Amino acid sequence: MAPDSFPRRECFEGRVGLACCSVLESRHWKWSRMAAIDTVFKLVNEWQPELLPTELKYRDSLVALLRDHINEGTVETEYRHSGTTADVYVKQAGFFGSSEVFVELKRNLIHKAQLDRLVGQIHGLEPKKNKILVVLCGETNPALASRFKELFREPLYAAFGTPVQMGLIVKKASKSAGTK
């Protein structure tokens, strides 16, 4: 199939990108088998966690959402990889085979020591080889989030509003929002 004949899909910011997918619906392609990083990125952006007391509660809330929406895949917690542990691991079947993403969740990133630990964890997950999403919940020091972006500038590159290799999402807890 020539690139010009691929169906188009709209991304989160209304931009249009090329897409190829596996489900045909009445002469129109439906985007149903995105890469794991795209699916998890989309779901985390839609996730509206309430203010929760611990990182584990945030993780459990996010995992419940992922398990509800990812039918053809695996969602695991505390996944061991290369001598480190990712908070969440997602492996999803896709059009061209399966894909995976590691999710590292941090609650209340407010001190430099916490940033240093997060940076070490991300390096352990090998961001040049693996897809990684970092989700910051609760209170986040904007200077530390900016410092993280600077340290991982190259893998945080995004195309069409979605991450290619690595993504960073800062979630602001809403007291009135329920966990989905």
pLDDT digits (tens, 9 = 90+) for 110-138: 999 999 999 999 999 999 899 999 999 99
In this structure, are 71 and 23 located in the same domain?
no
Structural domain of 141: 33-170
176 in any annotated domain: no
101 in any annotated domain: yes
Q: pTM score, two decimals?
A: 0.75
Cα dihedral value 38, 36, 117, 150, nearest 10: -30
What is the rounded CA–CA span in Å between residue 63 and residue 136?
A: 15
* Tokens 């990125």, located at residue: 41
Is 90 exceeded by the pLDDT of residue 40? Answer: yes
Is 50 exceeded by the pLDDT of residue 75? Answer: yes
143 in any annotated domain: yes
In this structure, are 9 and 50 located in the same domain?
no
In this structure, are 158 and 113 located in the same domain?
yes
In this structure, are 141 and 88 located in the same domain?
yes
159 in any annotated domain: yes
Number of domains within the chain: 2
* Tokens 């530390």, located at residue: 144
In this structure, are 92 and 150 located in the same domain?
yes
Is 80 exceeded by the pLDDT of residue 18? Answer: no
